[in-house]
A and B are shown apart, each in its own frame.
Chain A
Amino acid sequence: MLLLRCPYCGVDCDETELSPGGEAHLKRFGPGSEDADFEGYLFQRENPKGVHFERWRHANGCGKWFHAARCTVTLEVFGTYSAQLTEPPQDIKDAITAKRPGWHWREFA
């Protein structure tokens, strides 16, 4: 059972209280964009075996969206942060580097 802390209401909630929202920090492409960019935005995913960034919603709680940094191999949670951020904050990156030296995820490392 995953336990994530909602960065808005501060509650430690288990996954039945949350809705998973898929990969985080997608760059959106709309009308007028290249086919390859649009395909990438809609379908292609990092799907990493290791460090991953995701969107979650505190559905049965405050209802707000937030971000989580997680390891898909060990289910370890490195931290959660605001949905307003376009990339992981430095303290989360540092927490990951401490435990997974040399990690990479798209352009964030």
Chain B
Amino acid sequence: MKRYSAFAIAREALRDHMGWTRAWESPEPRAQYDVIIIGAGGHGLATAYHLGKEHGITNVAVIEKGWLGGGNTGRNTTIIRSNYLQDPSAAIYEKARSLYETLSQDLNYNVMFSPRGVIMLAQTEHEVRGYKRTAHANALQGVATEYIGPQKVKELCPIICLDGPRYPVLGGLWQARGGTARHDAVAWGYARACSDMGMHILQKCEVTGVKTQNGKVTGVTTSRGDIGCNKMGIVVAGNSGHLAEMAGFRLPVESVALQALVSEPIKPCMDVVVMANTVHGYMSQSDKGEMVIGGGADGYNNYTQRGSFHHIEETVRALIETFPMISRLKMLRQWGGIVDMTGDRSPIISKTPLEGCFINCGWGTGGFKAIPGSGFAMAELMATGRSPLAAEFGMERFREGRFIDESVAAGVAH
């Protein structure tokens, strides 16, 4: 792999940019790998990357039915934060956020991490109390957040209307080192680093079945032939239920559509991320100037990657109250991703009833921010059988009643 650097750009500029090589290889599948990761999204690629980097396992294939980063990795609103209430969540999301800080250097690929700060608005008395509690919890967990008053919110985000007709802004939970990153670049950067370690990234290779012997996984059947493995990781977000069915177990997961949209590009007008959970909308401005907007998920099972129109209307209607200046903006594009919601709205990083098969799913509406931490924990679990970061996220917690109840903590899906 040729390193990207200022020097490399200068060198290539002098020879008509003919020396750039492909960022990752597209090899033919081998018959057998040590580890197969199903799903070449952010979480799957990060898992493969950390298997190689921390555990020296490089005989790995990452299998993808479409193109890499084409699922929820390329469909989210790119927000990164770790201001969670419960200890296990704060630990894994803060691990992820801290890895994002140096990810561009680690991968030698610019993921455009922009720690511009995230405000979660408190718009009811309950939210004020909730976010103060979260700020105290974060102080104990070593996550840098603070509760701020309305004037500070206005200072950080001048386009906000503090005296909204329904929900005035009473304060907010501020995480100064939260922000955004370039979602595609995260997938591409990991893919390039994995390929450099000799791993195979097999795109347009759909898994059609899981092969087992004596209760242990031995491989998969795919649209590009049978591939054997010693261990398998399922990291497929919305399709987790579908893959679990092939592997012969059930999950406490339901797949629903979550939508996002962007406006026409405008001049810079907000340099923080604002989330308004009571009215359920969140917004940031991309480097191109588009306002990136996300909102609520559909309430019913869906695999169409579209979503219902009335959710867009609800989200935009709510945001116009808080940001009156966006009322004349035209919306350019809308899209949906299929998110996997668990019973307690927290993820699953777990062994499964099938020996040698591991699953990383259930990130629901908030997976992008967790990618590096999720990959780190999943790789540790797959390589050593145990991961302190993933310990609380086992799927047995639903049977044992040990929920990680961020749904109540966040007030909404998060």
The interface of chain A, by Cβ under 8 A from chain B, is 1-2, 15-16, 19-20, 22-23, 35-36, 38-40, 42-49, 52, 54, 72-75
Kindly list 17 other residue pairs between chains A and B, CB separation below 8 angstroms, not including A2-B300, A15-B310.
A19-B299, A39-B398, A40-B250, A43-B252, A43-B343, A43-B398, A44-B251, A44-B252, A45-B253, A46-B241, A46-B250, A47-B242, A47-B251, A47-B254, A47-B301, A54-B300, A72-B255
- Bound complex: CA A39 to CA B249 (Å): 13
Q: B298: which A residues are within 8 A, CB to CB?
A: 20
- Which B192-207 residues have a C-beta within 8 angstroms of A? none
- With A35-B399, A40-B250 given, is the CB distance from A45 to B308 under 8 Å? no
B309 interface hit (Cβ, 8 Å): yes
- A42 lies within 8 A of B343 (CB): yes
- Bound complex: CA A37 to CA B253 (Å): 16
Closest to A40 in B: B250
- A73 lies within 8 A of B303 (CB): yes
- A15 lies within 8 A of B241 (CB): no
| Binary A-proximity of B5-46 (CB < 8 A = 1, otherwise 0) | 000000000000000000000000000000000000000000
- The smallest beta-carbon distance between B404 and chain A, in angstroms, is 13
Q: A23: which B residues are within 8 A, CB to CB?
A: 254
- Bound complex: CA A3 to CA B149 (Å): 45
Q: A19: which B residues are within 8 A, CB to CB?
A: 299
Q: B245: which A residues are within 8 A, CB to CB?
A: 48
- Bound complex: CA A75 to CA B384 (Å): 42
- B310 lies within 8 A of A47 (CB): no
B221 interface hit (Cβ, 8 Å): no
Q: A47: which B residues are within 8 A, CB to CB?
A: 241-242, 251, 253-255, 301
- With A47-B254, A48-B241 given, is the CB distance from A15 to B308 under 8 Å? yes
- B310 lies within 8 A of A1 (CB): yes
- Bound complex: CA A59 to CA B303 (Å): 24
- With A47-B255, A48-B241 given, is the CB distance from A20 to B310 under 8 Å? no
- Bound complex: CA A91 to CA B392 (Å): 46
- The smallest beta-carbon distance between A37 and chain B, in angstroms, is 10
Q: Interface majority SS on B: helix, strand, loop or mixed?
A: mixed
A-B pairs with beta carbons under 8 Å apart, 12 shown? A1-B310, A15-B308, A39-B252, A43-B343, A43-B398, A45-B253, A45-B254, A48-B245, A49-B242, A72-B302, A73-B303, A74-B304
- The smallest beta-carbon distance between B252 and chain A, in angstroms, is 4
- A45 lies within 8 A of B299 (CB): no
- Bound complex: CA A1 to CA B250 (Å): 29
Q: B252: which A residues are within 8 A, CB to CB?
A: 39, 43-45
- A42 lies within 8 A of B253 (CB): no
Q: A20: which B residues are within 8 A, CB to CB?
A: 298-300
- Bound complex: CA A47 to CA B242 (Å): 8
Closest to A36 in B: B399
- With A1-B309, A73-B303, A75-B302 given, is the CB distance from A45 to B398 under 8 Å? no
Q: A48: which B residues are within 8 A, CB to CB?
A: 241-242, 245, 301
B239 interface hit (Cβ, 8 Å): yes
- With A43-B252, A72-B302 given, is the CB distance from A49 to B399 under 8 Å? no
- The smallest beta-carbon distance between A71 and chain B, in angstroms, is 9
- B303 lies within 8 A of A49 (CB): yes
Looking at B245, B303, B310, the one whose CB has the most chain A CB atoms below 10 A away is B303
- The smallest beta-carbon distance between B362 and chain A, in angstroms, is 11
- Which B202-227 residues have a C-beta within 8 angstroms of A? none
Looking at B250, B252, B300, B342, the one whose CB has the most chain A CB atoms below 10 A away is B300
Q: B242: which A residues are within 8 A, CB to CB?
A: 47-49
- The smallest beta-carbon distance between B359 and chain A, in angstroms, is 13
- Bound complex: CA A45 to CA B252 (Å): 6
- B399 lies within 8 A of A1 (CB): no
- With A54-B301, A72-B302 given, is the CB distance from A44 to B310 under 8 Å? no
- Which B318-365 residues have a C-beta within 8 angstroms of A? 342-343
- Bound complex: CA A45 to CA B301 (Å): 11
- The smallest beta-carbon distance between B184 and chain A, in angstroms, is 26
